[in-house]
Amino acid sequence: MLSMLALIMALSGSPVQTAATPPNVDVELVLAVDMSGSMDMEEARVQRSGYVQALRHPDFINAVKGGYLGRIAIGYFEWAGMVNEASVVTWQVIEGVADAEDFAAKIEARPIGTRRGTSISNAIIFGTSLIDTNAFSGARRVIDISGDGPNNTGPPVAPARNDAVGRGIIINGLAILIRPSVSTGPLDQYYAECVIGGPGSFVLPVHEAEDFAIAIRQKLILEVSGVTLPPTLSLAAVETAADCMIGEKLRPGFLDRVYPELDR
């Protein structure tokens, strides 16, 4: 038998939420944060602090409240060559200041440590699984992935990206260019061509450590509000396309693993 509230909602044309129905949210958002060994501990601390500050900022809270439902579901994890499962902060609904503060405090309390390798593909695969298996129903589903280098271990990144996008997930990127590598080419171009995907997907570059907090806040607000960035001018016609396997190719022994039949 319907409760009085459910009956009123049904008569008014409002959707009835039953115990078996996944809770509706404006967006299911996974924060996938790079903690690979190429980041020193100071950069890792600054990055962690940037996420914590962004989650506590009034502009982020207002973006959440400004949504159609006024609530989001959010999760967090850190990755390097593999996902650090001890870093996972499980799904939480954010509707206001107290929820955001609680989630930020959980991230802040995690120990900070970097690990070997950079597997954007494993991060995307793990984030996709978190979204596909959660208990929420979001109008949008987003993986927010930061990184300071190309994929160099685990599965190739492009197929992982394509699978996630095929499942209706949007992937946005934060390209950390504080210590850019000349050997791998422009990281923001790599992210644009090999990592991000889905309707309205975007990549934001970070060039200075002090810009972390602002860039992360801008990124979260865009993702929560669903605002699409205007198209930017591109020199793609005269630039060399990013090699989505450039990180793997620079690892010692890559050719021996891929082409073991070659005589060297």
Q: Is residue 129 part of a domain?
A: yes
Q: Indicate whether 74 belongs to any domain.
A: yes
Task: Report the domain count for the chain.
Answer: 1
Question: What are the beta bridge partners of residue 197?
Answer: 171
Q: Say what the pLDDT of residue 248 is.
A: 84
Domain that holds residue 207: 25-229
Handedness of CA 152, 153, 155, 161 (dihedral sign): negative
Q: How would you write the pLDDT of the chain (264 residues) with one tens digit per residue?
A: 444 434 334 334 434 444 456 689 999 999 999 998 777 788 888 889 999 999 999 999 999 999 999 999 999 999 999 998 889 999 999 999 999 999 999 999 998 887 888 999 999 999 999 999 999 999 999 999 999 899 999 999 999 999 999 999 999 999 998 876 656 678 999 999 999 999 999 999 998 888 888 999 999 999 998 877 665 544 444 456 888 998 888 876 554 454 344 344
Whether 236 is in a domain gets the answer: no
Q: Is residue 246 included in any domain, yes or no? A: no
**Residue of 83, 91, 168 whose CA lies nearest to 118:** 83
In a domain, residue 17? The reply is: no
In a domain, 16, yes or no: no
Residue 191 DSSP code: I
Residue 249 lies inside a defined structural domain of this protein: no
Quick one: pLDDT at residue 20? 53
What's the pLDDT score for residue 23? 86
- Paired strand residues for 29: 74, 142
pLDDT for residue 261: 42
For residues 128-164, one letter each, b for 16 or more C-beta atoms within 10 angstroms of the residue's C-beta and e for the rest, the string is bebbeebebebebbbbbbbbbbbbbbbeebbebbeeb
In a domain, 264, yes or no: no
What is the model's pLDDT at position 180? 65
Residue 167, domain CATH: 3.40.50.410
Of 147, 3, 134, 11, nearest to 73 by C-alpha is 134
